[in-house]
């Protein structure tokens, strides 16, 4: 999967500007799906038909990433900017960013009274090498993403935009390997999760699935002096119990746990105190959709260098395959109605 992950993480696609990464994903899934379509807001939906006696399942991974947007160009050609999604000034100074037109910028910081304090966004700027407004190659409203290459180092994979291109890679690989299934499965690569959750919400309204699973990253509690959390890299994918936006439906949670145990896949239970996923929006669509989340443990989320473990990624694919290929209509229906 490394080359798939590399191409996805290095692709451009901040929230609201997902066209390049969507085109890349479409080229990957079109030969594998029975139907491919794009929603009015821009989410990509790939459908795999089942044997006709199962349920309508939705798997969602968001293809957008965090980034920055130009708000002002000064007379010397320096750019002021605002974050797209959960960007921290702490990780910005000295970082490189890339605009859709290929222009590279470096984030600098003004002189401050107290250099030991974390700067505010108002104190940061982007230098694209311009000498004034007239020769500046970007304009107000243009968006950029952090520029970092994908690196595989043993079992650890490091890149920008693992949140959530790694979830997209899991869905692509699941679609690639998926054999006969009783279920009609909708693979949704959603837009604008980092800002509004609108892509998955509107896609789910059109699909009206019987059950939904978001595949996203979650933070870990295994780094020095980290906030305690019972999720670690390398211990398997995490099955969400609760986050700041939702409590996972017990039927979905138990379905994933049963699949992992049947296939002998190590897994962890996740309680995330801050942050949420597409599942929190999907579960509120129409009369309510039983929803849950399968999470990839990830260190340094919302920084230019996010880290995951290859075995956790592989475990997530195997777990989804077991769930989709091994569950009967009766078991899923019975559990979802509890």
Distance separating alpha carbons of residues 267 and 332, to the nearest angstrom: 20
Question: What letter would DSSP give residue 324?
Answer: H
Which residue reads 């690639």 in tokens? 176
Which residue reads 């099955």 in tokens? 239
Q: Is 3 a catalytic residue?
A: no
Residue 204: closest CA among 275, 294, 293, 278: 278
Question: What letter would DSSP give residue 236?
Answer: -
**Choice among 10, 18, 65, 193 that is catalytic:** 193
Compute the CA torsion angle 49, 53, 55, 61 (nearest 10 deg).
Answer: -30
Distance separating alpha carbons of residues 157 and 298, to the nearest angstrom: 10
Question: In sequence order, which residues have a C-beta less than 8 Å from that of residue 279 and are 6 or more positions away?
Answer: 60, 200, 212, 213, 214, 240, 246, 248, 291, 292, 293
Distance separating alpha carbons of residues 74 and 167, to the nearest angstrom: 39
Buried-exposed string 153-173: b where 16+ CB fall within 10 A, e elsewhere: eeeebbbbbbbbbbbbbbbbb
**Catalytic sites, residue numbers:** 193
């Amino acid at each position: 999967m490394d080359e798939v992950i590399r191409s996805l993480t290095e692709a451009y696609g901040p929230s609201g500007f997902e066209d390049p990464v969507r085109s890349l994903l479409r080229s990957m899934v079109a030969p594998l799906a029975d139907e491919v379509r794009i929603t009015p807001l821009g989410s990509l939906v790939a459908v795999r038909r089942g044997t006709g006696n199962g349920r309508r399942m939705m798997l969602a991974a968001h293809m957008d990433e965090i980034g920055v947007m130009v708000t002002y160009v000064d007379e010397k050609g320096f750019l002021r900017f605002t974050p797209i999604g959960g960007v921290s000034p702490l990780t910005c100074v000295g970082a490189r960013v890339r605009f859709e037109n290929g222009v590279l910028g470096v984030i600098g910081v003004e002189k401050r009274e107290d250099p030991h304090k974390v700067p505010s966004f108002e104190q940061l700027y982007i230098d694209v090498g311009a000498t004034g407004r007239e020769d500046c190659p970007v304009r107000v409203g243009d968006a950029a993403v952090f520029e970092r290459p994908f690196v595989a180092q043993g079992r650890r994979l490091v890149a920008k935009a693992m949140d959530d291109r790694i979830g997209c890679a899991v869905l692509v690989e699941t679609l690639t390997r998926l054999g006969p299934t009783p279920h009609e499965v909708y693979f949704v690569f959603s837009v604008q999760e980092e800002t509004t959750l609108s892509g998955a919400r509107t896609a789910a309204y059109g699909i009206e699935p019987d059950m939904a699973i978001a595949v996203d990253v979650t933070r870990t509690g295994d780094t020095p002096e980290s906030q305690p959390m019972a999720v670690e890299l390398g211990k398997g994918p995490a099955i969400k119990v609760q986050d700041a936006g939702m409590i996972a439906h017990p039927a979905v949670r138990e379905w994933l746990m049963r699949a992992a145990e049947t296939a002998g896949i190590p897994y962890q239970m996740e309680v995330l105190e801050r942050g949420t996923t597409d599942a929190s929006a999907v579960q509120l669509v129409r009369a309510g959709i039983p929803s849950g989340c399968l999470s990839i443990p990830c260190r340094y989320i919302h920084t230019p260098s996010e880290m995951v473990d290859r075995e956790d990624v592989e475990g997530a694919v195997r777990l989804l395959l077991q769930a989709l290929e091994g569950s009967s209509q009766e078991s899923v229906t019975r559990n979802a109605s509890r």
